[in-house]
Structure 1
């Protein structure tokens, strides 16, 4: 996913922060929001790969916003940026919201770029895992269906599913099991 354009939602009440993040992530499709409420409205219209939210915003803080956002788009990778080093809040966000990264302001641009790249990689892996799990469930359902058919056939005609193969691939018939009216 590194070479694909990701849909990223940037949420911060400071326009300069949004501009700065937008410049850093200019290779992606960026949507900006000045508040949690505005960001939630955007999330109704657009599916995002990543959301980067400020931790402290008026009206709705980053944690409240991300809780609501997560209910709408649980597969989006969540990143919080903050100017406040609040370890307890960071731990809470990581544990309850599955926040992928907690980045302090001012940040190093490479830190943001790396967090986005690693977040996109995680999202791709999680999507692949989900697709593989779905495929396994489908295959298991088919196997269960085939097993039920085989059991039904065996119940109706015991031994019908047992085939005696010859080394050349032909089927060996046991003449003692043949009906009397079938003779060779």
Structure 2
């Protein structure tokens, strides 16, 4: 997933914070929202790879917002920024909402960039794992189908699925299996 393709939603009630984060993340496609409800409205119309939310906002705090956002877009990577060092809230956010990073304000720009890059990397890995798991399920379904066909053949004609192979790749026939009409 390259930076140009990554959609990031920034949610904070402070316009200056949104502008500052937008500048830090200028290499990405950034959408901003001044409140949780506005962020949720964006989530209904645009697919986001990452959502960065303030922890304390009026009307709807970051935890409530991310909980509702997660119901709409469960695969988006979630990051919280906050000016309050609340360890219990951070643990709760990480444990219940799968928040990827909890970053304190004022932040270090490299910390934000690194969190986004690592978040995009995690998202790519999770997508690859999901695709591989889907592929394995499809292959297992085909194997189960082939196994059912072989069992049905074996039930109809016992021994039909058993082949004796010679070292050179030829088939070894058991004389008892050959009809008298074909014996020389």
C-alpha distance in 2, partners of 1:2/1:134? 23
1:85 is matched with 85
Shift of 1:146: 0.8
Contact 1:163/1:171, CA 8 A, preserved across alignment = yes
- Residue 152 (structure 2) aligns with: 152
1:2–1:121: 8 Å Cα contact kept in structure 2? Answer: no
User: Could you tell me how far 1:170 is from its partner in structure 2?
Assistant: 1.6
Alignment check: 8 A CA contact 2:3 2:27 kept:
no
The verdict on how the C-alpha distance between 1:38 and 1:3 changes in structure 2, with shifts beyond 3 A counting, is: closer
Per-residue CA deviation, residues 46-104 of structure 1 (Å, 9 max, x unaligned), is 10000000001110110000000000000000000001111111110000000000000
Number of matched residues?
184
What is the distance in 2 between the residues matched to 1:39 and 1:136? 36
Q: Distance in 2 between matches of 1:15 and 1:91?
A: 27
RMSD of Structure 2 on Structure 1 (CA) = 1.1
Does 2:64 correspond to 1:64? yes
Which residue number corresponds to residue 7 of structure 1? 7
Write out per-residue CA displacement over residues 15-35 of structure 1, whole angstroms, 9 at most, x where no aligned residue. Answer: 000000000000000000001
Structure 2's unaligned 5+ residue stretches are: none
Query: Unaligned stretches of 5+ in structure 1?
Result: none
- For the residues of structure 1 that align with 2:67 and 2:102, how far apart are their CA atoms? 15
Report the TM-score when normalising by structure 1.
0.96
Normalising by structure 2, we get a TM-score of 0.96
Whole-angstrom CA distance in 2 between matches of 1:109 and 1:158? 71
Q: Classify 1:7/1:34 alpha carbon distance in 2 versus 1 (closer, same or farther; 3 Å).
A: same
